[in-house]
Chain A
Amino acid sequence: GESVGLHLPTLSVQEGDNSIINCAYSNSASDYFIWYKQESGKGPQFIIDIRSNMDKRQGQRVTVLLNKTVKHLSLQIAATQPGDSAVYFCAEILYNQGGKLIFGQGTELSVKP
């Protein structure tokens, strides 16, 4: 079936350290995987996406890695800052269902100053 899940519900890191947030998925037919960030009291915000035929994609301070062999996705945040504190969701998108997003349950990232 379709499901996207996260390994850890919470992650605490020191300011300046790198953060790694993990995600497992089960639907091998997904075309894209996407990371969203949700700050308290706000709606989710797009961070970065990766196409299923790619292994790695880099953005500004963020890198997403995709391992299709083990159906694993990760988000790496370099030099984590207090403003990075939020809940991070991985999601897969279904183009044949109007762009429906299947979200994982989320990982809460807490950055200690």
Chain B
Amino acid sequence: DAGITQSPRHKVTETGTPVTLRCHQTENHRYMYWYRQDPGHGLRLIHYSYGVKDTDKGEVSDGYSVSRSKTEDFLLTLESATSSQTSVYFCAISDPGDRGFNEQYFGPGTRLTVT
């Protein structure tokens, strides 16, 4: 398995509280992604990063922010969690210099429940 870890793996939080999810990689890949997975929607991109301090929005970015201060870490923050953000969150990495973007490696996921 590619060296990707996510923390925490499970979290239950209350509506209105801030939450930060962490993705850590040991592959030195340039690109990192945050997806969410919901029944009936498959996986949808929230934000991605193409380098340290370089990030861009995905298709479902409202209510989320990200930061990447080091190559190996990509943080996803929910400033004020809502029940609609209950989901499974996956981090992924890729490097255009390897197989190109095509082979993205995914982490094990974080199950977030907002009550």
- A103 and B44 form a contact (CB under 8 A): yes
Interface residue B21 (Cβ < 8 Å from any Cβ of A): no
Known A93-B101, A99-B94, A105-B41; contact A43-B48, beta-carbon cutoff 8 A: no
- B108 and A98 form a contact (CB under 8 A): no
Interface residue B31 (Cβ < 8 Å from any Cβ of A): yes
Instruction: Report the separation of the CA atoms of residues A72 and B40 in the bound assembly, to the nearest whole angstrom.
Output: 20
Scan B23-59; emit 1 where CB is below 8 A from any A CB, else 0: 0000000010101000011111100101000001011
Instruction: Report B93 CB to chain A, min CB distance, Å.
Output: 10
Instruction: Report B33 CB to chain A, min CB distance, Å.
Output: 8
- B42 and A89 form a contact (CB under 8 A): yes
In the complex, identify which listed stretch (A11-19, A44-52, A59-67, A78-86) lies at the interface while the others stay far away. Answer: A44-52
Tell me which residues across on chain A come within 8 A of B90, comparing CB atoms. Answer: 43-44
- A43 and B102 form a contact (CB under 8 A): no
The range of chain A's interface size is 20 to 34
- A44 and B101 form a contact (CB under 8 A): no
Instruction: Report the separation of the CA atoms of residues A98 and B109 in the bound assembly, to the nearest whole angstrom.
Output: 21
Instruction: Report the separation of the CA atoms of residues A46 and B106 in the bound assembly, to the nearest whole angstrom.
Output: 9
Known A89-B42, A105-B40; contact A100-B48, beta-carbon cutoff 8 A: yes
Instruction: Name B39's closest neighbour in chain A (CB-CB).
Output: A105
The range of chain B's interface size is 20 to 34
A34 interface neighbour in B42, B43, B50, B102, Cβ under 8 Å: B102
Instruction: Report the separation of the CA atoms of residues A31 and B58 in the bound assembly, to the nearest whole angstrom.
Output: 19
Instruction: Report the separation of the CA atoms of residues A71 and B49 in the bound assembly, to the nearest whole angstrom.
Output: 30
Tell me which residues across on chain A come within 8 A of B31, comparing CB atoms. Answer: 98-99
- B42 and A93 form a contact (CB under 8 A): no
Could you list which residues of chain B lie within 8 angstroms of chain A, going by C-beta atoms?
A: 31, 33, 35, 40-45, 48, 50, 56, 58-59, 90, 92, 94, 96, 100-109
Shortest beta-carbon contacts, A-B, top 6:
A99-B101, A43-B106, A103-B42, A103-B43, A46-B103, A105-B42
Instruction: Pull 24 A–B residue pairs with CB atoms less than 8 Å apart, ordered by A.
Output: A32-B102, A34-B102, A41-B108, A42-B108, A42-B109, A44-B43, A44-B106, A45-B106, A46-B104, A49-B103, A93-B101, A97-B56, A98-B48, A98-B101, A99-B31, A99-B94, A99-B96, A100-B33, A100-B45, A101-B45, A103-B42, A103-B44, A105-B40, A106-B42
